[in-house]
Structure formats: C-alpha cells, structure tokens
Amino acid sequence: EDADVGRFLRLFTELPMEEIARLEALEGQEVNDAKKALADAATALCHGSEAASQAAETARRTFEQGEAAEGLPEIEVARSELEAGIPAFALFRRAGLAESGGAARRLIRGGGARLNDEPVGKEERLVGLADMEGLDALKLSAGRKRHVLVRPG
C-alpha cells in the first residue's frame, strides 16, 4: 500500500527524516519516487549496494524505457520448439510466471499476460519465432513487475 511506504522508509533506510517526510507527502504517480527509494534501500540491505545499483538500472530500463533489459531472468527454449510454436499458457508456465497450466490460463484470460509488451489474448495462441521478428529474445510479462526473457537455443 502506498500509505505504508513512509513507515517502511523509516524502518529500513537511513534516509534523513526530512527526506522521508518529503517522500511521504508525494501523491499520485510521484509516490513511485518513494517506492524506488524504498526498493533501493531494501535491495542494498539484503544484497549489497552493487546489487541495488544493478537492480535499479534494470528496473529503470525495463519500466521507464520499455526495454528488455539485461539482468532480467532468462530461459532457453529449443529453436525447433519455437519454429513449431508453443501454446502461450505452456510457455508462461515453463518460464515460471505461473505455478500451473491452469494458473497460466487464468493469467492470460485476466489480461495480465503480455508478450513483447502486448496482451497475449488467447491461452492457446502459439508463440514462435515469428514473434521474435527483429528481436533476440521474447519478453514475457506477468503483471507489471514479473518479466522473463525467452531466448532460442
């Protein structure tokens, strides 16, 4: 919840209280600045400052520039499988973006599944090499924050 960001900033960061108060006062889209500060601090606390810097850059490139940024999780799928086409629900399951085929189907039906930043549409849609036109990988997204690159092997 947006309302919890200030509390978590006080608990998990060493930001000055004036800066936390400024971030707490942000509203609308600007509250994302506070969330970024919290994410950076939490990542640095758990994984170190270098990992936090890498994660921040990956997030910036992925969410602000729409790039399939390096640093996203990747899976490799045999080129022959992509030539034949893989049902979208099966690929989302295989990529770890859904716990089961049924969960992948629900994700797609609910509109939360994207292929190269476009809604998947139908669960049985075949995903293949044609979807990679001009790209070196397919970008699968489940919601706004979970992404996996699929590379042909």
Domains of the chain are 2-64 (no CATH), 74-152 (3.10.290.10)
Quickly list DSSP for the chain.
Answer: -GGGHHHHHHHH----HHHHHHHHT--GGGHHHHHHHHHHHHHHHHH-HHHHHHHHHHHIIIIIS----TTS-EEEE-HHHHHH-EEHHHHHHHTTSSSSHHHHHHHHHTT-EEETTEE---TTPEE-GGGGTT-SSEEEEETTTEEEEEEE-
pTM for this model (two decimals): 0.60
Give pLDDT, residue 112: 95
Give pLDDT, residue 70: 59
Reading the block at residue 66, the tokens are: 């729409």
Give pLDDT, residue 144: 84
| pLDDT tens for each residue of the chain, 153 residues long | 788 888 999 988 888 999 999 988 888 878 888 888 888 888 888 888 888 888 777 776 655 555 555 568 899 999 999 999 999 999 999 999 999 999 999 999 999 999 998 999 998 999 999 999 888 899 999 998 899 999 999
How far is it, in rounded angstroms, from Cα 77 to Cα 71? 18
Give pLDDT, residue 35: 86
Q: Compute CA distances 30 → 18, 24, 51, 62, 135, whole Å.
A: 17, 10, 24, 18, 32
How far is it, in rounded angstroms, from Cα 90 to Cα 83? 15
